[in-house]
C-alpha cells in the first residue's frame, strides 16, 4: 500500500492512531525490515508501521543505489502479506524533507492527531549522533531500538545512550512507550534476523 501525499483526508484517516516509523534507503527492503516491523506492532501496540523509503539517504552515497521507484516496488513486494499494517511510502519526497528530524516535524504538523514512534536498529543507534539535529529525534517522539546482529551491536558506550540514559525505559515498559512524553526510549531485545541490505547487494553482484 502506498501512502498518498498528506491531506486533510489522510489526517483524519490516521487520527487517534499510533504509527511506527521505519526510515531508510530500503536498498533493498528485506525480511529483516518485516521482522522488526512485526515485533514493533505487537510489542509497542502500534496500529501500523510506515516504511519511509528515502529518496536519498544523506549518510549514503548514490553508488549502488536503486531508483526510488524500484525500492518502493520491492518494499511493497516484501511487505505484501501485511498490507493493512505495513504501509510503504515515499512521503519524504512529498514533504521535501531530507533529514529525519525535519521529517518528524513535518509529519507531526500534517498529522496532528496521530502518535508517532521512531523505530530503528542498534546499528543506527551507534551512529545516530552523526545525523543532522539528531537530538531533535529523541525530543519529538518516543524511540524504540531493536537488536541487530551482533547482539546489542556494541552500544554500551554509544553517545546517544550517554546523552539520553536518564530517559531509557526497560523493555518491560515497551507497551506504554507510545503514551509517554519524549524524550523517552527503550531497547527491545528480540530474536535476531541476520539479513542486511548490504549483504543482499553483494549477493546480487556475485550472481551477475
pLDDT at 77: 93
Q: Do residues 164 and 183 lie in contact, with contact meaning Cβ atoms separated by under 8 Å?
A: yes
* Contact predicate 44/144, CB 8 Å: yes
pTM of the complete model: 0.87
Domains delineated in the chain: 8-207 (3.40.50.620)
- pLDDT tens, N- to C-terminus, the chain (208 residues): 455 544 544 778 899 999 999 999 999 999 999 999 999 999 999 999 999 999 987 776 666 789 999 999 999 999 987 777 999 999 999 899 999 999 999 999 999 999 999 999 998 999 999 999 999 999 999 999 998 765 555 567 789 999 999 999 999 999 999 999 999 999 999 887 665 444 433 444 434 4
Please report the pLDDT score of residue 151 as a whole number. 56
Residue 100, Cβ neighbours under 10 Å: how many?
27
Question: What pLDDT sits at residue 13?
Answer: 85
DSSP string over 101-170: HHHHHHHHHH-TT-EEEEEEEHHHHTTGGGSTTHHHHHHHS-EEEE--SSGGGG-TT-HHHHHHGGGEEP
What's the pLDDT score for residue 136? 98
pLDDT of residue 138: 98
Q: Which of 133, 132, 137 is nearest to 185 (CA)?
A: 137
Amino acid at each position: 500500500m502506498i501512502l498518498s501525499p498528506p491531506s486533510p483526508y489522510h489526517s483524519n484517516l490516521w487520527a487517534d492512531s499510533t504509527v511506527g516509523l521505519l526510515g531508510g534507503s530500503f536498498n533493498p527492503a528485506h525480511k529483516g525490515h518485516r521482522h522488526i516491523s512485526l515485533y514493533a506492532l505487537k510489542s509497542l501496540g502500534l496500529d501500523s508501521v510506515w516504511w519511509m523509503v528515502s529518496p536519498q539517504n544523506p549518510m549514503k552515497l548514490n553508488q549502488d543505489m536503486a531508483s526510488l521507484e524500484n525500492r518502493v516496488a520491492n518494499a511493497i513486494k516484501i511487505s505484501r502479506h501485511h498490507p493493512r499494517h505495513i504501509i510503504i511510502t515515499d512521503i519524504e519526497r512529498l514533504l521535501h524533507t531530507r533529514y529525519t528530524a525535519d521529517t518528524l516535524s513535518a509529519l507531526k504538523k500534517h498529522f496532528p492527531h496521530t502518535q508517532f514512534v521512531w523505530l530503528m536498529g542498534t546499528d543506527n543507534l551507534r551512529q545516530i549522533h552523526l545525523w543532522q539535529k539528531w537530538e531533535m529525534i529523541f525530543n519529538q517522539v518516543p524511540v524504540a531500538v531493536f537488536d541487530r546482529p551482533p547482539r546489542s551491536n556494541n552500544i554500551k558506550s554509544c553517545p546517544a545512550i550517554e546523552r539520553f540514559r536518564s530517559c531509557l525505559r526497560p523493555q518491560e515498559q515497551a507497551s506504554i512507550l507510545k503514551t509517554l512524553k519524549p524524550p523517552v526510549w527503550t531497547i527491545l531485545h528480540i530474536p535476531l534476523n541476520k539479513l542486511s541490505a548490504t549483504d543482499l547487494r553483494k549477493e546480487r553482484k556475485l550472481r551477475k
